Amino acid sequence: MTQNGEMKMNTTFTLGALATATAILVAGNSAAQDNPMVGGAAMFPSKTIVENAVNSADHTTLVAAVQAADLVDTLNSAGPFTVFAPTNDAFGMISEASLNALLDPANKGQLQQILTCHVVAANAMSDAIAGMIADDGGTHPVETVGGCTLQAKMQGSEIVLTDENGRSASVTISDVRQSNGVIHVIDRVMLPAGQAG
């Protein structure tokens, strides 16, 4: 093959590879655009719950809590999981002393229970939750991995969860698809029975 022939073949290969890479990038960006933005960051349905959550500016406390509770590997696993993800403002409703105590390694078991009371071992999109609420006459019990039961109701078009202490949280961003489930952003931390916040 001549030098000119080799140059033409290499240029064609490079342009083909560039076209393929561009198509993959466009497809990835399109998928992210179909997903709601959370905390100013794109959420990619090809990434796990933890891989997406670390990019949300609104979930730095949740990510720190997941790390302190040694739940990163669990929420990176295949799932599927539905995570009701409290924002930093939601954690801000808990006193600083109580939050610091929860993040203390000595209280890891309690922190794990609180966090897993936000996790359901299923992939539950908002329309499915709304359907279950309707089928159950207006209130649907949501069994969590942490052993807590949340009560789900509709308030207008919004899903509202109530924990075992009567504390309510609204789903503010729903249906954030992940490779191992879905995130619904909530505005309050749910607590197991008997725990004040």
The answer to whether the beta carbons of residues 142 and 151 sit under 8 Å apart is: yes
Please state, in angstroms and rounded to a whole number, the distance separating the CA atoms of residues 141 and 153: 9
Angle at CA 129, nearest 5°, toward 151 and 47? 110
pLDDT of the residue at 116: 92
Predicted TM-score (pTM) above 0.95: no
Name the band, by pLDDT with cuts 50, 70 and 90, for residue 196: low
- CA 185, distance to chain mean position in Å, is 7
The answer to whether the beta carbons of residues 146 and 192 sit under 8 Å apart is: yes
Does position 149 have pLDDT exceeding 90, yes or no?
yes
Q: Residues 122-138: pLDDT tens digits?
A: 999 999 999 999 999 99
Mean pLDDT score of the chain: 82
Alpha-helix runs per DSSP H in 35-160 = 49-53, 60-68, 72-76, 88-92, 96-103, 108-116, 126-135
Please state, in angstroms and rounded to a whole number, the distance separating the CA atoms of residues 189 and 129: 19
Q: Residues 60-108: pLDDT tens digits?
A: 889 888 888 989 988 888 889 999 999 999 998 988 888 888 888 888 9
Sign of the torsion formed by the C-alpha atoms of 170, 133, 191 and 168: positive
Residue among 116, 108, 142 at smallest CA distance from 49 = 116
pLDDT of the residue at 10: 42
The structural domains of the chain, ordered by start, are 35-186 (2.30.180.10)
Q: Residues 2-49: pLDDT tens digits?
A: 444 444 434 333 444 434 333 334 334 434 457 888 888 888 898 888
Residue among 86, 46, 47 at smallest CA distance from 66 = 86
Please state, in angstroms and rounded to a whole number, the distance separating the CA atoms of residues 117 and 163: 9
pLDDT of the residue at 15: 40
Name the band, by pLDDT with cuts 50, 70 and 90, for residue 197: low
Task: State phi, psi for 138 to the nearest 5 degrees.
Answer: 115, -15
